[in-house]
């Protein structure tokens, strides 16, 4: 249980702290990831539906991932994420 | 009904159907591989076609390049904060001791089929944004 990771004591302390604080309840994990998805969806909705000056995801991509090489890297990362999450 | 609404409804229905289909995949199978990368090719292709059709409707910026959208810094920080919190949680979840549940995104989507479908829909939407938003090309140097 207390086996050290290869990433160093800082990460070990962080992981143990997380385990202590939230336990390892799968429902907590599910709630966290649903909250993340809801937060991202809310930001996107605010950008389109409100006067609150939040950029949309498209604005962020066009502004910060506009260079073709950077965009290609982002697409490669997106493909790897799909491979890792859905087929690997 | 406006054409924009029709397109939105069709796109949403396609994503929902694809996500429901994807939630039944078993990992490490050819069906999952073909389904994942077939969906990726379809989304990227559709996004590129959409971008091609839209580029003539956008007003050209300086030197003929697509104009950069105005991005509010506080709004950008809000996006970044959510992404960083999620990334931090995932890294810490990877280091959870072996005898406890890992609360990483991949572990959770394996455990909950609806989350798998929701995540697949989000993944498709991100691919659409990456493919359909214009890229910048460097124009001639300023005189």
Residue for token digits 């455990």? B111
Cβ-based contacts under 8 A for chains A and B: 179
From residue A69, alpha-carbon distances to B58, B140, B141 in Å are: 22, 19, 20
- Neighbouring residues of B52: CB distance < 8 A, sequence distance ≥ 6: none
- Nearest by CB to A54, which of B72, B86, B94? B72
Comparison of pLDDT for B116 and B8, the residue scoring more: B116
- Find out whether B115 and A30 touch, Cβ atoms under 8 Å: yes
Kindly report the number of other CB atoms within 10 A of residue B28's CB atom: 9
When the pLDDT of each residue in chain A is averaged and rounded to a whole number, the result is 82
Please tell me the distance from the alpha carbon of residue B10 to that of residue A20, in angstroms, as a whole number: 46
Mean pLDDT of B65-75: 76
CB within 8 A of A67, min separation 6: which ones?
A: B135, B136
**Minimal Cβ distance to B112: which of A18, A30, A66:** A30
Q: Do B82 and A1 touch (CB under 8 A)?
A: no
Average pLDDT over residues A4-20: 63
- Residues B71 and A55: beta-carbon distance below 8 Å: yes
């Amino acid at each position: 249980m207390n086996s050290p990771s290869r990433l160093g004591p800082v990460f070990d302390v962080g992981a143990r702290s997380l385990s202590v604080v939230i336990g390892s309840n799968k429902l907590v994990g599910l709630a966290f990831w649903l909250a993340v998805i809801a937060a991202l969806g809310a930001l996107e909705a605010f950008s389109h539906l409100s006067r609150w000056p939040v950029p949309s995801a498209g604005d962020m991509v066009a502004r910060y991932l506009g260079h073709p090489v950077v965009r290609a890297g982002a697409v490669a990362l997106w493909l790897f994420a799909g491979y890792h999450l859905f087929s690997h | 009904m406006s054409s924009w609404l029709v397109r939105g409804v069709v796109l949403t229905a396609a994503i929902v159907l694809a996500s429901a289909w994807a939630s039944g995949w078993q990992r490490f199978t050819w069906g999952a591989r073909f389904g994942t990368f077939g969906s990726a090719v379809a989304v990227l292709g559709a996004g590129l076609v959409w971008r091609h059709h839209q580029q003539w409707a956008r007003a050209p910026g300086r030197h003929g390049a697509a104009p950069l959208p105005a991005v509010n810094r506080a709004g950008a920080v809000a996006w970044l904060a959510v992404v960083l919190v999620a990334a931090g949680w995932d890294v810490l979840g990877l280091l959870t001791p072996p005898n406890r549940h890992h609360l990483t995104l991949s572990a959770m989507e394996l455990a909950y089929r609806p989350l798998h479908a929701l995540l697949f829909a989000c993944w498709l939407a991100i691919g659409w944004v990456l493919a359909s938003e214009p890229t910048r090309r460097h124009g001639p140097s300023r005189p």
